Amino acid sequence: MTITRQQLLQILPNAGPVAGVFTPLLNTAMVRYQIVGPKRIAAFIAQIGHESGQLMYVKEIWGPTKAQARYEGRSDLGNNQPGDGSKYRGRGLIQITGRANYMMCSEALALDLIKQPELLEKPQHACMSAAWFWASRGLNTLADAGQFDKITQRINGGQNGAADRQVLYSRALEVLV
């Protein structure tokens, strides 16, 4: 099963014209990382839909806010160089964040994201990095079990945006099942 442009727009209506760009790239990434079947696809699209503002943002909007300022020097993110917080801000459709995650993603996708973190802003890499992150965190298993809150926790570290994520998930299940 793949997702069509029309289905993507039913789930993420604000995606508008970029839906046509992202649909084939999402399908390629989802197949590569076994995000197949309605439950997995619904959970994945809902999560990336929330994280990217319905495919509108592939780079975290930077203030820096108080939360973003705390990225600097965070050892759990691998941010050990001055400026890492901003340099390795959230990018891609699932908002890969931190030097350590960029390094792991670099290895998985054979890209030099340490030298060129902005590569995750390109649609094909934004999609592939999201699917890699999803698979690397075991989220297919949680999607199969319908454990959407646990998926949010693993992506976000909390339940930020839980209501929006749930709306998108319900809509995706309606469209895909």
- State residue 177's pLDDT score: 87
Residue pair 121/58 in contact by the 8 Å Cβ criterion? yes
DSSP 7-30: HHHHH-GGGGGGHHHHHHHHHHHH
**The pTM of the whole model exceeds 0.75:** yes
Read off the DSSP letter of residue 131.
H
Taking the C-alpha atoms of residue 107 and residue 51, their distance in angstroms, rounded to an integer, is 23
Higher-pLDDT residue of 170, 1: 170
- State residue 103's pLDDT score: 98
pLDDT in tens, 63-121: 999 989 999 999 999 999 999 999 999 999 999 999 999 999 999 999 999 999 999 99
pLDDT in tens, 27-47: 999 999 999 999 999 999 999
- State residue 98's pLDDT score: 97
Q: Which CATH class is domain 66-119?
A: alpha beta
Residue pair 4/23 in contact by the 8 Å Cβ criterion? yes
Beta strands in the chain (DSSP E): none
Handedness of CA 75, 79, 62, 95 (dihedral sign): negative
Mean pLDDT value of segment 55-67: 95
Residue 131's alpha-carbon distances to 31, 108, 140, 165, in angstroms, are 9, 11, 10, 17
Mean pLDDT value of segment 139-166: 97
Whether the per-residue pLDDT at 127 is higher than 90: the answer is yes
- Domain residues of the chain, as ranges? 5-57+123-176, 66-119
